[in-house]
């Protein structure tokens, strides 16, 4: 029996990278999944169907842009009208920015915050309407070590993830008393398309110089930590930031 059997999860950023790995690990652990992506994609639909068949579970694709509040609201309505439980929310979707602060236009900073912070905050507010009624749930916000550590070119992205980390801690203090846990995962450099943007700016050596294991994580290694926090094995873990970074030097 999977450790997430009988649970329903909403996972954003499900179409690639860590998000795709999270969907597969959740499916493997027998969760029902709302797999959220920004735009309809036939390959994504086929991929989700194959995963659902492989692990004998239900995966429902759902499309909305995390930077557009109206689209988040409409997507939530689709979830809400089923009158089913939502046991887990994984705020995974995000965008990266790796430019020096003085070279970053304000509209780009706002765009990053809309997707990385304000979108997850609004979606969480929506999902909490269900979780609060249930008086149970697990919310995992996927941040980054960039929201904790300081590196040049990281002001915009790192600040958005720092905001998400602080939000996670404060929310945990508010909703823990009604049985809802909120934690953040802070991955280090991970083998995804997103990391290529950073590699092009800072180079591989600088990217890994603080990692004791001297390599990037795989998406599955991050997904495994998220599965754990979503499961009942983590029933008394709340308000924490879990670094998954191979050991920081």
Residues with a catalytic annotation lie at 157
What is the C-alpha separation between 71 and 125, in angstroms, rounded?
14
* Residues paired with 184 in a beta bridge: 141, 241
CA atoms within 13 A on the CB side of 203: 3
- Burial of residue 132, with CB atoms counted within 10 A of its CB: 0-12 exposed, 13-18 middle, 19 or more buried: middle
User: End-to-end distance of the chain based on CA atoms, in angstroms?
Assistant: 38
| Residue (of 234, 239, 88) closest to 177 by Cα position | 239
Sheet with 32-37, strands from edge to edge, namely 59-63, 32-37, 8-11, 88-91, 137-142, 180-187, 241-244
CA atoms within 13 A on the CB side of 81: 6
Residue 201 host element (H or E): helix 193-202
């Amino acid at each position: 029996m999977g450790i997430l059997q009988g649970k329903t999860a909403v996972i954003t950023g499900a179409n690639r990278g860590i998000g795709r790995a999270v969907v597969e690990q959740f499916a493997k652990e027998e969760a029902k999944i709302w797999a959220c992506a920004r735009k309809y994609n036939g390959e994504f639909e086929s991929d989700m169907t194959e995963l659902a068949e492989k692990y004998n579970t239900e995966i429902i694709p759902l499309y909305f842009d995390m930077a557009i509040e109206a689209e988040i609201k409409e997507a939530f309505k689709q979830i809400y009208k089923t009158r089913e439980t939502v046991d887990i929310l994984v705020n995974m979707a995000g965008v990266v920015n790796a430019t020096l602060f003085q070279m970053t236009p304000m509209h780009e900073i706002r765009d990053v915050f809309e997707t990385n912070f304000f979108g997850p905050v609004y979606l969480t507010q929506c999902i909490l309407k269900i979780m609060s009624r249930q008086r149970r749930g697990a919310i995992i916000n996927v941040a980054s070590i960039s929201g904790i550590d300081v590196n040049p070119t990281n002001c915009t992205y790192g600040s958005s993830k720092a905001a998400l980390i602080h939000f996670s801690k404060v929310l945990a203090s508010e909703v823990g008393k009604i049985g809802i846990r909120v934690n953040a995962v802070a991955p280090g450099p991970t083998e995804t398309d997103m990391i290529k943007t950073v590699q092009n700016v800072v180079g591989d050596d600088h990217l890994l110089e603080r990692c004791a294991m001297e390599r990037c994580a795989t998406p599955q290694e991050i997904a495994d930590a998220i599965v754990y926090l979503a499961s009942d094995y983590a029933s008394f873990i709340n308000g924490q930031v879990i670094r998954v970074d191979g050991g920081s030097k």
